[in-house]
Each structure stands twice: as C-alpha cells, then as structure tokens.
Amino acid sequence: MAASVQFSTSYFLPTKPSSSKRLTTLSAAAIPKLNGFFPCSVVCCSYSNGREPDPQVEDAVKSVDRLLEQKRKAQLSSRIASGEFTVQQNGFPSLLRNGLSKLGVPQEVLGFLFSWVDTAEDYQRIPEAKGIISAIRNEAFFIPLYELYLTYGGIFRLMLGPKSFLIVSDPSIAKHILRDNSKAYSKGILAEILDFVMGKGLIPADGEVWRVRRRAIVPALHQKYVAAMINLFGQATYRLCEKLDAAASDGEDVEMESLFSRLTLDIIGEAVFNYDFDSLTNDTGIVEAVYTVLREAEDRSVSPIPFWEIPIWKDISPKQRKVASALQLINETLDDLIARCKRMIEEEELQFHEEYMNEQDPSILHFLLASRDDVTSKQLRDDLMTLLIAGHETSAAVLTWTFYLLSKEPGILSKLQHEVDSVLGDRFPTIEDMRRLKYTSRVVSESLRLYPQPPVLIRRSVEDDILGQYPIKRGEDIFVSIWNLHRCPNHWEDAEKFNPERWPLDGPNPNETNQNFSYLPFGGGPRKCVGDMFASFENIVAVAMLVRRFNFQMAIGAPPVGMTTGATIHTTEGLKMTVTRRTKPPIVPTLEMPTVKIDSSSTIPGMEPMLSQKDEVPSARS
Ligand code: HEM
C-alpha cells in the first residue's frame, strides 16, 4: 500500500498537498521557506489582470524573479555540496569521486577519470536523492521532482523513509518502460488506490483483463463515432457560451475551472453512456455523487494511512458512508442505463459491424452491448466509470490551463481568434474543421506540453529489467515524469515559454512518436490513451467556439494561479476570469449546420496523424 508519504496515485497520479498547507501564493517571502525546492520558473502566477500591463512593474517583477531564482539555485547547490543528496556508493573510488565532486571538479572530468572504475563494475548504481520529505510536503509533488531531475538526471531514486521510487525523466528510458518492454510493468499502486472506484477498469487493469477489455473498448471509438461527437462537443460548448454570455451581460467574473469541469462532465456522460448530467445548469444528486467519488479518489491517493481499509471505519466515518452511498447511486444509475440500452438494442434492426453506430445513441456503452461483448455487469460498470473519470478530469484540466496561458499571451489569443474567425465564422465546428483549425490544435498541444494531464505516469516493475545503464529488480515503483520530459531544457528551446509556433503548421501534429518520447501528452505504447483523438477534438471545438465569442482576462483581484494535483493538475484557488463579448450583439452559431457525410470506408482528411498514433498500439488489438 502506498502509505507514509504524500503521493497521489489517483487516475494516474500525484499529489495534492494537504489543504491546510497548499501553496496558494507565490510571494517572495514564501519561496525560501520551501527549502529551496521551489522552481520559480515553472510555477504560474498571475500578477496582473491582463488588461494594461505596466512595463515598469513587469520589469521589476522579472528582476525580483531572477534574484529569487539565483538565491534558490545557490541554496540548492550548497545543499548538494553538503552531501545531503549524495549517492552512497561503496568503496574507495566512490568516496574519492564524491570528495572530488564536493571540491567542485566538473562531472565530465570525473566521468572521464573514473571511467575505468565504472567499466570495472558491471553496472552503476542509480543516483539517490534523500531527505526531501519536508521539502515536498508543501507543494505539488511533480515540482520538486523537476528540480531533482535537473540535479540527478534522467533516472534517480527518491528515498522517502522506508519507501523508494524511481523517477524517470529520460525519453529513451520512458520509451523502454512504456513501449518496448511494457509487458514488464504493471500499474502498481495506482490499481490499489483506484480499486474502490474503477475496479478492474481499463486504466488500473493489468494482464489478461486489460488485454481483453482494451480489445473490446478501442473499436468503440472508431472514426464515425468521433465524427459524431464533434456535434455533441459543439452543443455542450454552446450551452457554456450561453452561461458566459449572461455573465458578460451582468459584468460578473466567472470561475472557469469549475465550468470546464462541468462542460466535460456533460460531454463524457453523453459520449460514454448516453446520459445527460446537465451539470452546467443543475446540481442533481448524481452530479454531486460523481464529484464525491472523484474527490475521494484524490484524497485516498494523498492519505498517509489507508483508513478506508479499516472495516469498522467504513461504517462509522460519515465521509466514508457518503462515499459508499455516492457509489451506490452511481452504480444504480449505470445499471439503469445499461438496462435501457439493452432494450434499445433489442428493438433496433441495425446489424453490428466495424463502424456500427446508433444515431440516437452513439455512446460507447451502446457499441459494447451491441457487439455482444461477453462481459460481466461489474466489469462493464468498471469500464464505464473508468472512461467517465479518464475523459472528464483530463479535458477539464487542459481547458483550464489553456485559457490561463492565453490570458497571459494576448498576441497568441488574437492569432487564434483570427484563425477561428476565418475558418468557422459563426457556425458550429465540423469534423473537416479539425484539420483546418491548425493553429488552434497547436495551442492545445502546447498547453498539454506545459501542463500535461496527468503530470506523472505510474508503473511497477513485475520483472527484473535494465533501465539505461542500471539494473532494477522486480517490485520497483516507478514514476515517469511527463512534466520533466515536457520541460527538459536540453530538448526544448525556451522550454518554459508558451509558444504554439514551436510546432510548424505545415508539419505533423506532435505526438510521442514524431517527438521520440520527449512529448507524451497521451502516454505511449500499448497503454496509450484510447481517447486521444476524442479529447483533442473536444478541446479544439471548445477553445475555438469560446475564443470566437469572448475575450478572456484574469479578473481584477483574482487570486494568484497556483498549482496543486489530484488526478490532474488543478489550480489552488480556481481560475477567476473576466469574460467580455468580442462583438455585439453576441455571436451565436448558426443553427443550419452543414451536414457531414461520413464515408466510413475512407480516412477523414486531417485525422491521419492522430489515427496513425492509434495504429502504433497493435498489441492492444491483437
Ligand atoms: C486531454 C484529455 C486526455 C488526456 C491528456 C489523457 C491522457 C492519458 C494518458 C497520459 C494516458 C496513459 C496513462 C498511462 O500510461 O498510465 C491515458 C490513458 C487512458 N485514457 Fe486518456 N486522456 C485524455 C482523455 C481521455 C478520454 C476522453 C478518454 C475516454 C473517452 C480517455 C480514456 C483513457 C483510458 C481508458 C486510458 C487507459 C488506457 C489503457 O491503459 O489501456 N482519456 N490517458
């Protein structure tokens, strides 16, 4: 069990600081208190409301940032020099090497001098970072991992009390774990923590269960299905536009993070099991139940003691009882939906085929039942819950951070608006627009680079293996840090900069293959996200429709936007924005949408790069 440390293992991972200790502001005073582990450069913080930035104030802020950065680096260097993080290796050569290192001899020189020792040993030992529990307790877990990565490199061992974790930030090691030798790795602690909500659903499942369920579920997200979803994305986003329009009229600021969460919940409910949560307008019992369960998953992943496993606790703790009844309500609702869908299928005359889709109910559930998939009702519920959570939190987080980034870069926002104006005008987006909205797609890709959802992937070795030059034993818990891969200063020019232009518009959509595992927004290998194309289009539609109609700025007096993690990267205090209409009267999409004829025998133009990503997971389908 993942006890004793503050690791999150929800959906895919880490951590949420305990609420009382959350990092909420990035004040100059706060930084030194964080034991020098706070990388100013990677923490977002909004000082202005984005309206009329005062250049003098901005310069002053930048120079304070620079000074703090220097101070932080100096503190870290002195801690490293003191031996606090030094690898404990046996023998005189290691001692000598460490000693020379402390005297300031560069690593390249040491590497050369001691190469004879290294070759004399079969393998090197993985560098170890120790004694940082207090440093990481107060902040989102992946942030200090970035700093340690800059110090220790692409693979190191993090010792936290009795537990140790391997932190991987090297693209070739990530590729080895996720793709080339993926059969040697399981989901480890992730599966343990998520058991109560996802059971043996696709994300936590391993081995034969995973293989069978992946083979059943992947075909449900076929091209025709994804094309049909574009309309759903447009309708749901339009409902959000109406809400924002009312706020713009009333001059009220809006908290966008929770609105994005509701938008994506509404979408995924319809897409997975044809259920309209209508959470943008209602707070029904089922919506509350879903959020109760999601929050519980996050809380469990950061709890030092697994209270929920104590039999009596489950019955007396009001919180656990609430979780149990929320789960019961969700399960009953799912059972009803499954029964309703079965009745529909009995009445329909459609023949099941590869791109089967019921126009009235194109949901994944309908596809699975119509395929006569041989599955228990418990397994089916686990799969549906997994898809619901996987597709909800991630997309909401992507939209939140995309709009945060856009609010800081008015130039990028107006370039984006220019593209949307000329491609879409006032109509709803269609599947063909997905290939035309190239800049919009780059904006989303770049947002996913800076804020990957989840920031870290979890694995456990189930066999002995060799990672880079290091042998590892079975049973190692491993975190592959996408955050680090996406911000590696050696790989990315101006790694911290939000720069959609880094992806040429005439080039392919960036993915893990064409970026050689330095960019992994949807993972890679056989366990790559099954909803990558769905999610990409969902985000493109939402971004395009929103920026077409509104300008977004940080609200005056909005709290600084800090990061914390649950399943994905959340803001610490929401994303409070002022939304203004771009033109008057408000633009609403035309209701005569061009009908899209889908030729199921051919590839939809512009979708090839994304589709080819899917083709790279043959083991999932074979
Ligand atoms: C922008 C939105 C999304 C992002 C960033 C995202 C990201 C990811 C990542 C990184 C993984 C790999 C996890 C790992 O290797 O441990 C993953 C897996 C998965 N995702 Fe997504 N996802 C998104 C949306 C969706 C949607 C919309 C769905 C469903 C419709 C979905 C369903 C899944 C499932 C089922 C898996 C597990 C696949 C397996 O283990 O075989 N995701 N996702």
Of the chain, the percentage scoring pLDDT greater than 70 comes to 75
Distance 205 CA to ligand 1 centre (A): 13
Q: Which residue has the higher pLDDT, 158 or 176?
A: 176
Residue 42, pLDDT score: 35
Q: Which residue has the higher pLDDT, 92 or 517?
A: 517
User: Domain holding 436: CATH number?
Assistant: 1.10.630.10
The reply to whether 381 and 529 lie within a common domain is yes
pLDDT tier at 583 (50, 70, 90 boundaries)? Answer: confident
Which amino acid residue places its CA nearest to atom 37 of ligand 1?
203
Q: Which domain holds residue 118?
A: 92-122
DSSP code at position 51: S
Distance 567 CA to ligand 1 centre (A): 12
Distance 366 CA to ligand 1 centre (A): 20
Q: How far apart are CA 467 and CA 475, in angstroms?
A: 14
Give residue-wise pLDDT tens across range 174-207. 999 999 999 999 999 889 888 999 999 999 999 9
The reply to whether 108 and 214 lie within a common domain is no
Cβ(445) to ligand 1 under 6 A?
Answer: no
Residue 606, pLDDT score: 36
Q: How far apart are CA 279 and CA 268, in angstroms?
A: 11
Which amino acid residue places its CA nearest to atom 21 of ligand 1?
529
Specify if 2 maps to a domain: no
Cβ(543) to ligand 1 under 6 A?
Answer: no
Residue 301, pLDDT score: 72
Residue 100, pLDDT score: 79
Mean per-residue pLDDT for 88-105? 67
pLDDT tier at 65 (50, 70, 90 boundaries)? Answer: low
pLDDT at 588 over 50: yes
The reply to whether 237 and 97 lie within a common domain is no
pLDDT at 44 over 70: no
Give residue-wise pLDDT tens across range 284-299. 889 899 989 988 887 8
Q: Which pairs count as long-range contacts for 585-588, CB under 8 Å and 24+ apart, including other chains?
A: 586/245, 586/248, 586/549, 587/426, 587/548, 587/549, 588/238, 588/241, 588/426
Give residue-wise pLDDT tens across range 543-563. 999 999 999 999 999 999 999
- The neighbour count for residue 271, using CB atoms within 10 Å, is 28
Residue 565, pLDDT score: 79
Cβ(11) to ligand 1 under 6 A?
Answer: no
Q: Do the beta carbons of residue 439 and residue 415 sit within 8 Å?
A: yes
Helices (H), 468-603: 482-487, 532-549
Cβ(386) to ligand 1 under 6 A?
Answer: yes
Cβ(534) to ligand 1 under 6 A?
Answer: yes
pLDDT at 61 over 70: no
Question: For 429, phi and psi rounded to 5 degrees?
Answer: -65, 150
- Residues of the binding site: 529
pLDDT at 78 over 80: no
Q: How far apart are CA 101 and CA 81, in angstroms?
A: 8
* Mean predicted lDDT score pLDDT of the chain: 81
The reply to whether 208 and 106 lie within a common domain is no
Specify if 180 maps to a domain: no
Residue 219, pLDDT score: 95
Distance 182 CA to ligand 1 centre (A): 16
As for how many domains the chain has, the answer is 2
Mean per-residue pLDDT for 617-621? 29
Cβ(394) to ligand 1 under 6 A?
Answer: yes
Token pair of 211, please?
């293989």
The reply to whether 292 and 369 lie within a common domain is yes
The reply to whether 248 and 106 lie within a common domain is no
Distance 392 CA to ligand 1 centre (A): 10
Specify if 171 maps to a domain: no
Residue 597, pLDDT score: 42
Distance 617 CA to ligand 1 centre (A): 14
Distance 198 CA to ligand 1 centre (A): 14
Specify if 205 maps to a domain: yes
Give residue-wise pLDDT tens across range 407-438. 999 999 999 999 999 999 989 999 999 999 99
Specify if 235 maps to a domain: yes
Specify if 238 maps to a domain: yes
Residue 443, pLDDT score: 98
The reply to whether 477 and 400 lie within a common domain is yes
Distances in whole angstroms, Cα of residue 398 to Cα of each of 284, 404, 412, 562? 25, 10, 17, 15
Specify if 62 maps to a domain: no
- Residues of the binding site for heme: 529
Mean per-residue pLDDT for 391-396? 94
Which amino acid residue places its CA nearest to atom 31 of ligand 1?
531
Specify if 43 maps to a domain: no
Q: How far apart are CA 318 and CA 313, in angstroms?
A: 9
Residue 620 alpha carbon, nearest atom of ligand 1: 41
Taking the model in full, what pTM does it have? 0.80
- The neighbour count for residue 143, using CB atoms within 10 Å, is 20
Residue 534 alpha carbon, nearest atom of ligand 1: 27
CA quadruple 524, 530, 531, 532: dihedral sign: positive
Cβ(12) to ligand 1 under 6 A?
Answer: yes
Helix, strand, coil share (%) of the chain residues, nearest 5: 55, 10, 40
